[in-house]
Structure 1
């Protein structure tokens, strides 16, 4: 059967006529005159090829064919309404998915607050979260396999010039020790003190810059660094410090993860560490990504202006 003129209004008119059982009342409910309604129903019946309504002195009643047609018409209108709602929600970033790559220390800050708020405001967005070394998440971002990444330091390598990147976290070197350690009662420890202690440091794929900075800070002949216990990430550093293995060295973000049995100390002189950097592809116009960046702006006010400048929205 070839459909030529059936439109949404035909379905609405048929349903209104069935509900009111009278052309005049149905026309008033629809906000149109009765003659156009009669003509549209007649056009619809010609299109379908069967009589949908019986016109009687008692009113207008659906035929058996009409009843069957109305069931489908109602479903079609409901689906069209739902489709419009779904499209609107997707356009506003309320549905869809967000693929995020991150390094472990970003789970100390700022990700807990950002992801918590985003999840509450966008509960129907599917979050795909991947803990990844910075180099791997940068490559995945460039390849279109991630929507956003949080890395240690800015992305590097071929294709990084097509990414928008802004710092979302600053840190300096901090020490963590067990509560029974001699340094536990000190507000700070010096580099000379660190040279005389067994150390715990992270040495994953993201740590070369930190390791280089530590060697510069402690000196090329620092035996403590050569014999340091190697941890996978900051969470392991804190855990090993609690076990009295030595003095853990990591980013000041560790201060947001207090636990029984450890104490934190400033390292003097203060040593800046690479920033946490949030990056996304400049060509990515996903509404979900836009909604996520809005959450970052609201949760990290000092990031907003830089983000707008780098993404060309200022």
Structure 2
């Protein structure tokens, strides 16, 4: 059997297992599909196909999501190690980077990386910044990467799952709204989610799905007056161009909001879910010295801010 054929089988199986474990991770076909950037109906069909092939139900459907059946839970526990091994086989793990004490950091969109860059600047007087690698993506991907030791640490929203990791809430991230120049809402000094309920929130999609975490989108929905959400096959720069031409609005942390960009302007959010706690997640067994220096610096930086 050719290696090309084996890789094709690997990716096909991996895609199907992605659906199962996304549903496990999020407790819902809808939220799992959102995290993967696929239609909920497609995820549901694929899982139904797997259940047909197995001859038993993996999930029990209920009014607010899905739960593992007894057989499904046993099967998931048996399959999980193979799933992780298959992911490792088809992912370029940066083991060489680990040997060279490079700090690999995940940032959950739409967090600004300003605070993280400031941390790196303070660790080793910029030397660590030259030996660090920043990765954008959703928190579910970052958590798995931390567990597989492909990331040393990830900065994610407080509600993101951290099972198997150490975690610590470090700061609160203020959210800002990006609107096209000339939009009537720019007449206000600050905005609330209720002001945006008739607007469209544009969410960029990465290679593994929407870059915004489903937990953040759920939190926005809890306001009771959330905007319409549109997942866009667009990078951040393209997304800003769409906003400039009136296709919708975006949200980001204060690092990006400080940028002066043509055709758009920023306003701070106020009220419920306008500033969200950010936590670091990492493995207690990770011995990378740069990681522990970073965490100490992060705690000191937050403490100094609070004393001002």
Instruction: Please tell me whether the aligned partners of residues 203 and 211 of structure 2 are also in contact (alpha carbons under 8 angstroms).
Output: no
Tell me how far 1:126 sits from its aligned partner: 3.2
Tell me how far 1:233 sits from its aligned partner: 7.2
Residue in structure 2 matching 1:207, options 201, 209, 213: 213
Distance 1:199 1:296, change over 3 A: closer
Distance 1:233 1:107, change over 3 A: farther
The aligned counterpart of 1:176 is 178
The aligned counterpart of 1:156 is 161
The aligned counterpart of 2:222 is 216
Unaligned runs of 5+ in 2: 1-99
Tell me how far 1:107 sits from its aligned partner: 4.1
Tell me how far 1:196 sits from its aligned partner: 3.1
The CA distance in 1 between the partners of 2:253 and 2:233, in whole Å, is 14
Tell me how far 1:301 sits from its aligned partner: 2.9
Instruction: Please tell me whether the aligned partners of residues 109 and 212 of structure 2 are also in contact (alpha carbons under 8 angstroms).
Output: no
Number of equivalent positions: 204
- Please say if 1:276 is aligned against 2:256: no
The CA distance in 1 between the partners of 2:212 and 2:147, in whole Å, is 18
The CA distance in 1 between the partners of 2:303 and 2:289, in whole Å, is 21
Alignment of structure 1 residues 1-314 onto 2, 5 Å = 96-118=101-123, 120-122=125-127, 126-153=131-158, 156=161, 158-160=163-165, 163=166, 165-201=167-203, 204=210, 206-219=212-225, 225=228, 228=230, 230=232, 238-251=240-253, 254-272=256-274, 274-301=276-303
SS of the equivalent of 1:276 reads: strand
Tell me how far 1:121 sits from its aligned partner: 4.3
Instruction: Please tell me whether the aligned partners of residues 296 and 303 of structure 1 are also in contact (alpha carbons under 8 angstroms).
Output: no
Distance 1:269 1:105, change over 3 A: closer
- TM-score, normalized by length of structure 1? 0.52
Distance 1:134 1:195, change over 3 A: closer
Tell me how far 1:132 sits from its aligned partner: 3.5
- TM-score, normalized by length of structure 2? 0.53
Residue-by-residue CA offset, 1:88-135 (whole Å, 9 max, x unaligned): xxxxxxx73222222344443311212233363435973243333211
Residue-by-residue CA offset, 1:5-40 (whole Å, 9 max, x unaligned): xxxxxxxxxxxxxxxxxxxxxxxxxxxxxxxxxxxx
Tell me how far 1:225 sits from its aligned partner: 0.8
The CA distance in 1 between the partners of 2:290 and 2:211, in whole Å, is 29
Please report the RMSD computed on the Cα atoms of aligned residues, expressed in angstroms: 3.6
Instruction: Please tell me whether the aligned partners of residues 105 and 253 of structure 1 are also in contact (alpha carbons under 8 angstroms).
Output: no
SS of the equivalent of 1:131 reads: strand
The CA distance in 2 between the partners of 1:133 and 1:99, in whole Å, is 15
Instruction: Please tell me whether the aligned partners of residues 157 and 277 of structure 2 are also in contact (alpha carbons under 8 angstroms).
Output: yes
Distance 1:131 1:211, change over 3 A: closer
Rg larger in structure: 1
SS of the equivalent of 1:210 reads: helix
Distance 1:124 1:139, change over 3 A: closer
Residue-by-residue CA offset, 1:63-105 (whole Å, 9 max, x unaligned): xxxxxxxxxxxxxxxxxxxxxxxxxxxxxxxx73222222344
Unaligned runs of 5+ in 1: 1-94, 305-314
